[in-house]
Every structure is written in structure tokens, then in C-alpha cells.
Structure 1
Amino acid sequence: MQIWNTFKTTILLAGLTALFMVIGGAIGGQVGMIIALVMAVAMNMGAWWFSDSLALRMSGAHEVSPAEAPELHQMVEELSIRAEIPKPRVYLIESETPNAFATGRSPAKGAVAVTTGIARLLTRDELAGVVAHELAHIKHRDTLISSIAATIAGAISMLADMAMWSLMFAGLGGSDDGEDEGIAGMVGGVLMMILAPIAAMIIQMAISRSREYLADAGGARILGDPLPLASALEKLEWAAGRVPMQASPATSHLYIINPLVGGLAGLFRTHPATAERIARLRAMSGQNVAMA
């Protein structure tokens, strides 16, 4: 299953790249495509470079020392050793909604943030399952993968904007010759301008969902038991609909359970269905999932 999810992520990233190249070819001008690519890469790489500090600041997380949260630090340290990554920084979010997320562009820059409400809902084993899931995100460099997807998706949106302005100027300066072809081209351009960013968003969300499955499986291997994480997800899903969390849509995809209830579902979900995640974890219970 892990190999399949990794394969899907690779295919989806390739699909984003292909979509970007198709739009660039449709616009035509190589100079405009290069300018759009450079600007998109610059903006998204800047966002990636500061993604950890921005996510922590936007969530209201504050770093805690081992003296302030000794049990949590001990848990993170023990699981980091099992995951074979450096111990990440530990943060708390003052919120009664039980949730957690990880950030950091590399294992050396990792950070784990948990809400103050999570320890009041979960048992120690369940919390360890959640922490292991977040460490798996750090180990798999999911922030980097998400940033690559965001870079390409951002470039697609920028090219779509360029196409819009190109169509506007073409419409103003059009000639009488080939009027039908011009209208057809404009209709096609408008459709591309609308559908391309939507397609990019759908692919980006699909990548996010694939990475959640990988983090679930990776967390189960780090802990050596998938059942505590499955139980934790069940409780967190229950709590998400009953104790709403004030979270930004820009950071909601980072959390182990999406803190934003309602909204678009299906293709536009940043997380897989929790019931499916739980079923997959429970199916692993008869297997040897311990770290090698």
C-alpha cells in the first residue's frame, strides 16, 4: 500500500507538471512562460522556506521546554529515536479542540505542535500514535512535497491569469478575418483559464490525501502498533465536529484531522475519509509493522 501511495504521489506530481507545460504551450510565448515560472517558483520557494514559522505563528503555537512539558518531550524524543530522525521542536497550541500537526522543510528543521486539549481526550498510547504520525510526516519530507505541488499549482494559476489578459488584449485588437476562429479560440482560452486552476487544486488535494495515508502507515511502523493511532483518529474525528477550532484554511491541511468542518467534500478534501484511514490501520494489526 505504501508503494502504491508513493507511486500515486509521483504520478500526480507528474500530472501537475504536464498540466503546467500544456498551459504554457497554449499561451505560446516562451518568454512569458519563463517569466511566469520564475515568479511562481520565487513566491512558492519563499513560502516553503518560511512555511514552518508561518504555520506555527498562524496557529498560535508556542514552543515549550522539557521542564514545561516533560512527558510530551520524553514521548517525542523516544519516538524520534525509533523513527531515526533528529528530535523536533515541541509546541503547544492553546485550544480545547484535540488536534496536532507537524511542519519543517527537513527532518533537521522539524517541529511538532499539539493542542492543549489533545492530552485530555487521548490515552498515552493514542497520543503516542498521533505523535508518531506527525514524525512520519517529517521523516517523509511531506512539507517539501507539498511545496513542490504548491509551486506548480501556483505557476498554473499565474499562467491562467496571463492567458486572461492575453485574451482581453487579443479581443480588443482582433481583426475581421477568421472571426469564427477567434471566437472559438477565446472560448477555449476562457475554459482553460477556469478549469486549469481547478484541476491543479484537485491534483494538489489528491497529493495531500496520499501523504496522509503514508503518514498513517509510517506512524504505525514507528510506534510498532497501528491500533492506538486508529483509536486516536476515531476520537479526534468525533471531537472535530463537537469542539470547533479556530484554524486558518491556509494551515488546515497540516493537521492530523481537518479542523474545519463543512465546506466542499469529495475531490476537494485535503484529508482522506477518516473511516477509511481507520480501516486501513486496523487491517495492518495482523501484520508485523515494527520498525526494522
Structure 2
Amino acid sequence: MARTRFLPDSGLTARMTLVMFLLGGLFVALVVALMVAVRSPGLAMIVGIAGLGVAFFQWWTSDTMAMRAMRAREVSPQEAPELHGMIDRLCALADMPKPRVGVADMDIPNAFATGRSPDRAVVCVTTGILRRLDAEELEAVLAHELSHVAHRDVMVMTIASSAGIVAGMVTRGAQFGALSGGGRGRNDKNSGALLLVALVVSLVVYAISFFLTRLLSRYRELCADRAGAYLTMKPAKLASALQKITGEMASIPQRDLRTTSAMNAFFIAPAISGASLSTLTSTHPSLEQRLEQLARIQADLSRPGPGA
């Protein structure tokens, strides 16, 4: 992690590290199982490297792809002086490079940050969130997003998704018999059995990777809430912003929410109307869990210091 003034959270960091370790173990287990199943180490390594290549491409182009998906445009300080002014102040407080600033012209109240490094990052807000939040609430949201940038969360989540990407490729390959090259010289029955083993292993790895990645995503959102709240020293404003964003989501047409569903993992709050996702499959903690954490931070900041 880059050196910044965002307050660290050793507990969340330890949990995120454990999840990353488990995901790394899954990746290795998948490649080894594939080597055994197809009896072709070279083919297994090619699939593994291809999966890593896909993950690398997603990480390398994350800012461009996200901005394009949201139909957002980069804005200059002359076009959005108040927004740039807030980010300038927060970056100075956090002692971090200033990212590019983007605006997406859509009514969905949300914000996201992405980019392969702090020097290549972009923080983007929608016109919907600009209309609905006051200045202090918007600043709290921006602090949350800048925490993602400082903690290199895009890189973390890209690495975490590698096992799932490779498992998905193996699953598709096994379904279409792409792995049967490792079975030359054996009868069709043995080849079919090996393909079935590869398919089952990859499906199990994909399922476990899916849930672990969602768990990691929820941890990073809690960490960004905490870091952003301590940076601004106004956790109540972030709590108020989250309540407004979540409440306003119900008034957005479903067709509009569906157009941005692919960006849910990047948003400060998922674009879901009328219901919350299951805890196991959600990319974000529940609103109640986030508000409870912010309330504890508010109580901690309100507590008189030594000698007071």
C-alpha cells in the first residue's frame, strides 16, 4: 500500500490478507489439479497464464473500461471547480497524488474510483449524486473513494479474481472438449472421465472463489468507510450520504439500474432497488453494518481525550 495518512485498520487488513491467501491457494490447487487431470503440465500452465493475462488486461485498462461503461467524461477544474476543490483538499489531507476527476451524466446517485495505480486513478461521480448530497456528504463519499485509490483496491480485487477467471476458462474448455488434447492415445471413456474431473474441480474452485471474492469486497468497503470517516473526521456525514443514496435508489427505474449492474462492485453503494442481495453474494456490507461501524467511529471521535 502507498504511504498515505489514511488510518490503517489492522483487523480488516488481517482478514483481507487471509482471504487473499486462500484465493492464492485455490489458484495453485486448480492449476495442479488440471495438470493431474489432463496429464499435460504445459497445457495447464498455458491456461493458468492465459487467465492471469485476462486479469492483467482488466487491471491495466480498468480506468478506461469503467469510464466507458458509465459513459463518463473527465472534467477539468474549470468545468467542476467545487468537485476539484474537494478532491484537492482531501488529497492534501491524505498525502496522496490527485486522481483524475470524472462525471457521469445519469440520475443514479453513486460514485466510484478505479485505476491500476494512484497515479493512473480516476474518481467519478454521477450527476445524480451531485444533486442529492450536500457538500459535507459529498466530501465524505469522495474520501471513501480516495481510500480505495490509496489502498490500491483495484489491484487487490483483480488479483483476487484470478482464480475465478482461470476456473471459468477451464469450465468452458472442459464443456467444449478443449482439454481433450491431453488425452490423446487413450480411449474415449478415460478422456471423458478426465474432462469430467477437470469440469468438477473448476466449478468447485469457481464457486469458492466467487464467495471469497465477495467476502473480500465487503471487507474493503468497510475499510474504505472507516478510513474515509477518520480522514474527514465526519463519520455522520458518510452515514447520512449512504442513507440518502440507498433510499434514493428505490426511485430509479429498474432498466436504468440494470445498465450499471456490472459496475456494482466499484460503486460506493450497489445499484439495487427494493431489496438487498444475500449476504454471501453481495459485493457490499449491509447498510446496517456500515452505519453501525460509522456510529462507533463517531462515538470514538466524540470521546474526550486524555486530560480533557
Do the two structures share a fold, i.e. TM-score over 0.5? yes
* Distance of 1:112 and 1:76 partners within structure 2: 9
Partner of 1:24: 31
Contact preservation (8 Å) 1:208, 1:270 = yes
Instruction: After superposing the two structures, state which structure 1 stretch, 38-47 or 136-145, moved more.
Output: 38-47
Q: Does 1:106 align with 2:117?
A: yes
Counterpart residue type for residue 284 of structure 1: I
In the TM superposition, what is the alpha-carbon distance from 1:189 to its structure 2 partner?
A: 5.0
Aligned to 1:234: 243
Please name the residue that 1:158 is paired with: 169
Could you tell me how far 1:192 is from its partner in structure 2?
Answer: 2.5
Residue equivalent to 2:76: 65
2:14 maps to which residue?
7
The counterpart of 2:188, out of the listed 166, 173, 179, is 173
Which residue does the alignment assign to 2:140?
A: 129
1:225 to 215, 229, 234: 234
Q: Shift of the alpha carbon at 1:163?
A: 4.8
Q: Structure 1 unaligned runs (5+)?
A: 176-181
Residue 107 and residue 14 in structure 1: after superposition, are their counterparts in 2 closer, same or farther (change >3 A)?
same
Match of 1:273 in 2: 286
Change in 2 beyond 3 A, CA 1:31/1:187: closer
Q: Report if aligned partners of 1:33, 1:159 keep a CA contact under 8 Å in 2.
A: no
1:253-290, Cα deviation, whole Å (9 max, x unpaired):
1010111345852211111111111110111112249x
**Alpha-carbon spacing, 1:239–1:276, altered in 2? closer, same or farther (3 Å):** same
Contact (CA 8 Å) 1:24, 1:159: kept in 2 or not?
A: no
1:86–1:108 Cα contact (<8 Å) kept: yes
Residue type matched to 2:85 in 1?
Q
User: Which residue identity does 1:10 align to in structure 2?
Assistant: T
TM-score, normalised on structure 1?
A: 0.88
Distance between the aligned counterparts of 2:29 and 2:263, measured in 1? 30
Q: 2: distance between equivalents of 1:87 and 1:95? A: 24
Alignment-mate amino acid for residue 188 of structure 2: G
Bigger mean CA offset, 66-75 vs 194-203:
194-203
Cα distance in structure 1, aligned partners of 2:153 and 2:100: 17
- Give the share of equivalent positions with the same residue, in percent: 32
CA contact (8 A) 2:74 2:101 kept: yes
Cα distance, 1:187–1:160 mapped onto 2, change above 3 Å: closer
Aligned to 1:35: 46
Equivalent position SS for 1:113 = strand
Displacement of 1:142 after TM fit?
0.4
Summarize the Cα distance change of 1:67–1:73 in structure 2 as closer, same or farther, 3 Å threshold.
same
Q: Deviations over 1:148-175 (max 9, x none)?
A: 1122321232234455534798696226
TM-score by length of 2: 0.84
| Alignment correspondent of 2:266 | 254
Paired letter, 1:6: T
Contact preservation (8 Å) 2:164, 2:205:
no
Moved more, 14-23 or 48-57: 14-23
Compute the RMSD of aligned alpha carbons.
Answer: 2.4
Task: Provide structure 2 residue ranges, at least 5 long, that are not aligned to the other structure.
Answer: 1-7, 303-308
Are residue 194 (structure 1) and residue 203 (structure 2) matched? yes
Tell which deviates more after alignment, 53-62 or 63-72. Answer: 63-72
Whole-angstrom distance in 1 between the partners of 2:119 and 2:29: 37
Which residue type is aligned with residue 248 of structure 1? T
CA, structure 1 residues 226+172, in 2 after alignment: closer, same or farther (shift >3 Å)? farther
Q: Is the 8 A contact 1:23 1:159 kept in 2?
A: no
Count of matched residue positions in the alignment of Structure 1 and Structure 2: 282
- The residue type equivalent to 2:14 in the other structure is F
The match for 2:126 is 115
Secondary structure, counterpart of 2:280 in structure 1: helix
Asked whether the equivalents of residues 126 and 231 of structure 1 are also in contact (C-alpha less than 8 Å), the reply is yes
Does the CA-based 8 Å contact 1:163-1:193 persist in structure 2?
A: no
Q: Provide the residue aligned with 2:214 in structure 1.
A: 205
Question: What is the CA distance between 1:9 and its match in structure 2?
Answer: 1.3
Give, as a single letter, the amino acid of the residue that structure 1 aligns with 2:290.
R
Q: Which residue of 2 aligns with 1:139?
A: 150
Distance 1:172 1:271, change over 3 A: farther
Q: Is the 8 A contact 2:143 2:228 kept in 1?
A: yes
Give the letter for the 1:285 counterpart.
Q
